[in-house]
Amino acid sequence: MKTLKNIFKDYTVPCIFILLGIIGFLISGLSFKMVINDLIERLGRNLFIVLSLIIPISAGMGINFALTVGAMAGQLAVIAVVVMNIEGIGGTFAAFLISVPISIIFGLIIGFLMNKTKGREMITGLVAAYFFSGIYQLIILSLPINNPIIGVEGGKGIKSTIDLGIIKYSLDRFPTYIRVLGIKIPLFTLIICGLLCVFIWYIGKTKLGQDIKITGLDIKTAEEKGINVNKVRIIAIVLSTVFAGIGQIISLQNIGTLSTFGSHEQVGMYAAAAILVGGASIKKAKFTNAIVGTLLFYFLFIVTPKAGANIFGDTQIGEFFRVFIAYGVIVVALYINNKKNKSY
The contact set with another protein (CB under 8 A) reads: 62, 113, 116-120, 122-124, 126-128, 130-131, 133-135, 137-138, 141-142, 156-157, 219-220, 312, 314, 316-317, 320-321, 323-324, 327-328, 330-331, 334-335, 338-339
3-class state of residue 208 by DSSP: helix
CB of 88 to another protein, least distance (A): 33
Identity at 82, one-letter amino acid code: V
Distance (Å, whole) CA 314 – CA 306:
9
State which residue, 258 or 333, has the beta carbon closest to another protein. 333
State which residue, 29 or 119, has the beta carbon closest to another protein. 119
Distances (CA, A) of 16 to 13, 271, 284, 331: 5, 18, 20, 14
Residue 258, H or E segment:
strand 257-259
CB of 66 to another protein, least distance (A): 11
State which residue, 194 or 328, has the beta carbon closest to another protein. 328
Whether the bond between 101 and the residue before it is cis, its omega within 30 degrees of 0, is no
Q: Give 151's strand partners.
A: 158
Alpha helices in the chain (DSSP H): 4-10, 12-28, 32-51, 54-58, 67-84, 88-116, 121-142, 187-205, 207-217, 219-224, 229-255, 267-277, 287-312, 315-340
CB of 269 to another protein, least distance (A): 8
CA-derived radius of gyration, the chain:
20
CB of 156 to another protein, least distance (A): 8
Identity at 158, one-letter amino acid code: I
Q: What are the φ and ψ backbone dihedral angles of 117, each rounded to 5 degrees?
A: -125, 50
CB of 297 to another protein, least distance (A): 15
Question: Dihedral sign, CA of 98, 44, 326, 288?
Answer: negative
State which residue, 89 or 323, has the beta carbon closest to another protein. 323
**Cα angle 10, 204, 277; round to 5:** 30
State which residue, 137 or 228, has the beta carbon closest to another protein. 137
State which residue, 106 or 169, has the beta carbon closest to another protein. 106
State which residue, 65 or 188, has the beta carbon closest to another protein. 65
CB of 136 to another protein, least distance (A): 8
CB of 252 to another protein, least distance (A): 21
State which residue, 19 or 123, has the beta carbon closest to another protein. 123
CB of 48 to another protein, least distance (A): 24
Q: Give 180's strand partners.
A: 183
